[in-house]
Amino acid sequence: MDALFSRLTMTGASAMLLLALVVMWRRHVPAYVTAFRTQSVVLAFVGAIVAWMGEVPELFLVAAIILGLKGWIVPRILAGMEARRPDDRGLRPLVNTEMSLLISGGLAVAAYELSRPLTEVVSLPTRSGLPIALALILVSLFIVVSRRQVIAQIVGFLMLENGVALLALLGAYGVPLVVELGVFLDVLLGVLVMQALVPGMEKTSAG
Partner 1 sequence: MTPIVLAVTECLCLAIAAPAVVGYVRWLKARLQGRRGADFLQPYRDLRKTFAKGMIIADTTSWIFHLTPCVVVASTVAAAALVPVISASQPGDQLGDLFALMALLILGTIFLALGGLDPGTAFGGMGSSREMTVAALTEPTLAIAILSLALTAGSTSLGTITNTLLTTPANAIGPGHALALAAFLIAMLAETGRLPVDNPATHLELTMIHEAMILEYSGPYLALLEWAAALKLTLLLTLASNLFVPWGIATSLSAGALALGLAAVLAKLALLATLLAVLETRVAKLRLFRVPELLAVSFTLALLAATSSFFTR
Binding site residues, partner 1, CB under 8 A: 3, 7, 10-11, 13-15, 17-18, 21, 25, 97-98, 101-102, 104-105, 108-109, 112, 116, 119, 128, 131-132
Closest CB to partner 1 among residues 132, 150? 132
Beta carbon of residue 18, minimum distance to partner 1 (angstroms, whole number) = 8
Q: What angle do CA 118, 126, 2 make, to 5 degrees?
A: 135
Least distance CB 83 / partner 1 (angstroms): 27
In the complex, minimum distance from the CB of residue 15 to partner 1, in angstroms, rounded to a whole number: 8
CB 44 within 8 A of CB 165: no
For partner 1, which is the closer residue by CB, 8 or 74? 8
Shortest Å, Cβ 127 to partner 1: 10
**What Rg, from alpha-carbon coordinates, does the chain have?**
17
Residue 3 or 178: the one with the smaller Cβ distance to partner 1 is 3
- CA–CA separation, 205 vs 207, rounded Å? 6
Instruction: Return the number of the residue (93 or 190) whose C-beta is nearest partner 1.
Output: 93
53 to 13, 40, 48, 62, 176: CA distances (angstroms): 16, 20, 8, 15, 18
State phi, psi for 92 to the nearest 5 degrees.
-90, 150
